[in-house]
Chain A
């Protein structure tokens, strides 16, 4: 009774195509234990993401604090050193945000750090410096989004600039910037695939190589696309959870 239906399904071109796919994916992922290469690449992808987001946070926080501190100086009491550092920070964000990340990575690998063999490290530096510029603007926006009355209240209690930042402004800014930071993390995670262009062995690099070796690019590329998507969904979910936890002080 079911047999005709099964025969009919089997005869469909789409199903035929699916059945032929199985061996292709088998070649791309299982044969010669190739899945280990994706795994190795995925670990490197995570390493690059983590190191560059950490670098970006440090750079970004520094630049954001310099730029807000500079803008908040009381007239007549301007610090000349802060002025110079502020100018450097401005040039940095303008150059980094005004040029393509791909070009920056190529410049790091083939101009600035030409002799460096460790391409993964070069990729981390390129991406970290890039992330710093974007994160600094995210943090700066976050700091500015906090009501000026908060800083006034902190300062009028006798707290210094850094204590006011640390206990009052940054925790509130953190909540405001979390969505944009999550986006930055997701973008960075996906953009690690760019460093395969300089020969850093992350996941895209291996997928590309396997595609070349087996003369079949579709299975490895679709495969890693699914892996990227999977982790992006997980990251987004974690971000949502964190946001809900930080909303604790908003409940009434």
Chain B
């Protein structure tokens, strides 16, 4: 589904991603972990071209998105993204936050989009917040709305960039719960996170990144039980 070949990214002289090749299959829940500065967020942001790769190609559903002529807006419509800091639009109600993109991109009519928004809000238990503004919500509620907003575009894959890192501890659970449900429904997900429990429970594959490379990867149980690289063992001993 997403095919990454020889992806490199540098900011000035700073090489952040060093020749990464990876394939993400439909239905997979890939969890990317690693120390901060390892390039995991940059890797995720390259997948929908929020960062422009310095070298390499990324192919999504047969279309090469790193091609300068690619219709990047159309490709992004099919890849939802959830951010660490939610990035809800503070100038709009929740309802408008969710319906703006589907309506403006021609995916749905206004009435249809609103119906869809309410259905999605009911799923995450926030239908009574439809007419509230983001400033009136808690962090956990904002992040659940952000997930709903991405889902409203009916994406084929969802990218999560540390979705629980900016949350108070007691709100992490409600967001992970929504993500677990999505995973159960078969959504393809790429999740950068520090939640090892989530990685173990939901992930179908864990990637460990360090120094701009994917050092090691495995199915979660094997990964956590028998890490091979010394760097991975050190990291896991600190976070587990």
Contacts and interface: CB of A to CB of B under 8 A. Distances in A.
Interface of A: 74-77, 147, 149-150, 152-160, 163, 167-168, 171-172, 175, 248-252
B81 interface: yes
Nearest to B72: A155
B104 A163 contact: yes
A147 B68 CA distance: 26
Contacts of A150: 87, 89
Nearest to B96: A167
Contacts of A158: 73-74, 76-78, 101, 105, 153
Contacts of B143: none
B87 A250 contact: no
Contacts of B196: none
A68 to B, nearest CB: 17
Interface string B62-83: 0000001000011011111101
B14 interface: no
Contacts of B150: 157
B222 interface: no
Contacts of B100: 157, 159, 167
Given A74-B52, A251-B136, A156 B81 contact: yes
Contact of B76 (A147, A155, A248): A155
Given A159-B104, A163-B104, A252 B136 contact: yes
Contact of A249 (B78, B90, B105): B90
A160 B77 CA distance: 10
Contacts of B91: 168, 171-172, 175, 249
A173 B153 CA distance: 26
A157 B77 contact: yes
Contacts of B79: 156
Interface of B: 48, 50, 52, 68, 73-74, 76-81, 83, 85, 87-92, 100-101, 104-105, 133-136, 146, 149-150, 153
A155 to B, nearest CB: 7
Contacts, number: 84
Nearest to B107: A158
Given A158-B74, A158-B105, A172-B90, 7 more contacts: A150-B89, A155-B50, A157-B153, A159-B73, A159-B100, A159-B104, A171-B91
Contacts of A159: 73, 100-101, 104-105
B101 A157 contact: yes
Contacts of A156: 48, 50, 76, 79-81
Contacts of A252: 135-136
B79 to A, nearest CB: 7
A75 B68 CA distance: 11
B84 to A, nearest CB: 9
Nearest to B93: A249
A152 B153 CA distance: 16
A147 to B, nearest CB: 7
Nearest to A153: B87
Contacts of A147: 85, 87
A149 B78 CA distance: 19
A156 to B, nearest CB: 4
B26 to A, nearest CB: 20
Contact of B149 (A75, A157, A175, A251): A157
Most buried by B among A149, A150, A163, A249: A249
A168 B74 CA distance: 19
A76 B53 CA distance: 10
5 contacts: A77-B52, A157-B76, A158-B73, A159-B105, A167-B104
